[in-house]
Amino acid sequence: MGMNVYVDSIRSRDANGDYVTDSSGKPGLNTILGENADDVKERHNRSNNVITATWPGNDTFSVSWTQAENVRRYRILVTGGADGDHVRVVEDAVNEAQAESWLTENLNNTSADNEYLTVYTSTPDANGTFIPHWSEWQELSKATTDLSLSRLDFLASAASTFAITIEAE
């Protein structure tokens, strides 16, 4: 007895996330068989190696993406500083002044939400070599299809210079 199996996960999607069809209205198939079309992403990675604990008063501690790059998730690797140091991160501040106000918020704020994510540095091993410690993936809402990540800003917990690597898709 034969059985028809339809695999929705290999259907191609256009830039808007809609399924692609051919001229007859049949679903277009992704040429990368076996992979979920939602998992096939273009990477738009960034890095910044001058982050410190002193706010610069400009966009030096920022990285950005265009809306056309459609960044929907990211993760961060922080290197530099000492074990236990960290970097604060804020998403999509309107400008440098807003990023500064969110990043310099008092850590002992008992009545308001903190707008930032904390990412800790890599941990050195017994030989003093840093072991990479990526943050968890930060997913942006898929409910809003017309907006994507446009900016991340950073502020370090110590006076050392920190290097930030962002993997973004």
Read off the pLDDT of residues 53-63 as tens digits, 9 standing for 90 and up.
999 999 999 99
Strand-pair partners of 123:
131
Q: Mean pLDDT across the stretch 73-102? A: 91
pLDDT at 15 over 60: no
The tokens 């017309």 sit on which residue? 146
Tokens matching residue 159: 């006076």
Domains recognised in the chain with CATH numbers: 1-40 (no CATH), 41-168 (2.60.120)
**So what's the pLDDT on residue 37?**
42
**So what's the pLDDT on residue 34?**
37
Q: Mean pLDDT across the stretch 7-26? A: 52
Are 91 and 150 contacting, i.e. CB atoms less than 8 angstroms apart? Answer: no
Contacts with 35 (C-beta within 8 Å, 6 or more apart), sequence order: 9, 10
